[in-house]
A and B are shown apart, each in its own frame.
Chain A
Amino acid sequence: MVRLDDNGDALIRVRNLDKTYRRGGQDVHVLQGLNLCVDEGDFVAFMGPSGSGKTTLLNLLGGLDLPTAGSITVAGDEITRLSGPKLANWRARHVGFIFQMYNLLPVLTAFQNVELPLMLTRLTKPQRRRHVETALALVGLGDRTDYYPRQLSGGQEQRVAIARAIVADPTFLLCDEPTGDLDRRSADEVLALLSALSSRYGKTVLMVTHDPRAAERAEVVLHMEKGALVEGTTSGPERSGPASKPAER
Chain B
Amino acid sequence: MKYFALIWSNLRRKKVRTTLTIGSFAVALFLYGLLAAIQTAFNQGVEVAGVDRLVVRNKVSLIMPLPVSYRERMLQIPGVKAVTYATWFGGYYQDPKNFFPQFAVYKETWLKIYPEFKVPRGEWEAFLQDREGCIVGRKTAERFGWKIGDRVPLVASIFGGVWEFNIRGIYDAARSEDDTTQFWFRSDYLEERRAWGKGMVGWYVVQVADPNEAARVAEAIDGRFANSPWETSAESEKAFAAGFVKQVGNIQLLILVIGGVVFFTLLLVTGNAMAMAVRERTAELAVLKTIGFTDASVLWLVLGESVAYALQGGVLGLAAVKLFTLRGDPTGGLLPVFYLSPGKMALGLALTVAVGVVSGIIPALLAMRLKIVEALRRV
Q: Show the binding face of A for B, using Cβ within 8 Å.
A: 59, 62, 64-65, 84-85, 88-89, 91-93, 97, 99, 101, 103, 105-108, 112, 116-117, 119-120, 125, 164
Q: In the complex, what residue of chain B is closest to A96 when comparing beta carbons? A: B291
Q: Is B31 an interface residue (CB 8 A)?
A: no
Q: Please report the number of residue pairs spanning A and B whose Cβ atoms sit closer than 8 angstroms.
A: 68
* 17 contacting pairs across A/B (C-beta < 8 A): A59-B372, A65-B373, A85-B294, A88-B292, A89-B292, A91-B291, A93-B292, A97-B287, A99-B376, A103-B287, A105-B6, A107-B12, A116-B6, A116-B291, A117-B292, A120-B292, A164-B291
Q: Which of B292, B373, B376 contacts A91 (CB 8 A)?
A: B292
Known: A108-B6, A112-B9, A119-B2. A101 touches B379 (CB 8 A): yes
A103 CB contacts on chain B under 8 angstroms: 283-284, 287, 376, 379
CA distance A92 to B288 in the complex (A): 10
A164 CB contacts on chain B under 8 angstroms: 291
Q: Is B257 an interface residue (CB 8 A)?
A: no
Q: Shortest Cβ distance from B12 into chain A, in angstroms?
A: 7
The count of chain B contact residues (Cβ–Cβ below 8 Å) is 24
Q: Is B71 an interface residue (CB 8 A)?
A: no
List CB contacts (< 8 Å) of B264-320 with chain A. 283-284, 287-296
B288 CB contacts on chain A under 8 angstroms: 116
Q: Which of B10, B287, B376, B379 contacts A107 (CB 8 A)?
A: B10
Q: Which of B3, B287, B292 contacts A105 (CB 8 A)?
A: B287
- A105→B284 contact, CB < 8 A: yes
- B2→A62 contact, CB < 8 A: no
Q: In the complex, what residue of chain A is closest to B283 when comparing beta carbons? A: A103
B373 CB contacts on chain A under 8 angstroms: 59, 64-65
CA distance A97 to B13 in the complex (A): 24
- A84→B283 contact, CB < 8 A: no
Q: Shortest Cβ distance from B254 into chain A, in angstroms?
A: 43
Known: A99-B379, A103-B284, A119-B2. A62 touches B294 (CB 8 A): no
Q: In the complex, what residue of chain B is closest to A103 when comparing beta carbons? A: B287
CA distance A119 to B284 in the complex (A): 16
Q: Which of A62, A101, A107 contacts B13 (CB 8 A)?
A: A107
CA distance A107 to B18 in the complex (A): 14
- B284→A64 contact, CB < 8 A: no
A97 CB contacts on chain B under 8 angstroms: 287, 290-291
Q: Is B5 an interface residue (CB 8 A)?
A: yes
- Which 3 A-B residue pairings sit nearest by Cβ, starting from the closest? A92-B292, A107-B9, A88-B294
CA distance A106 to B289 in the complex (A): 16
Q: In the complex, what residue of chain B is closest to A115 when comparing beta carbons? A: B5
A91 CB contacts on chain B under 8 angstroms: 290-292
Residue interface bits B247-260, CB-to-A below 8 A is 1, else 0: 00000000000000
Q: Shortest Cβ distance from A198 into chain B, in angstroms?
A: 20
Q: In the complex, what residue of chain A is closest to B14 when comparing beta carbons? A: A107
B289 CB contacts on chain A under 8 angstroms: 88
CA distance A107 to B379 in the complex (A): 17
B284 CB contacts on chain A under 8 angstroms: 103, 105
CA distance A160 to B243 in the complex (A): 71
CA distance A57 to B294 in the complex (A): 22
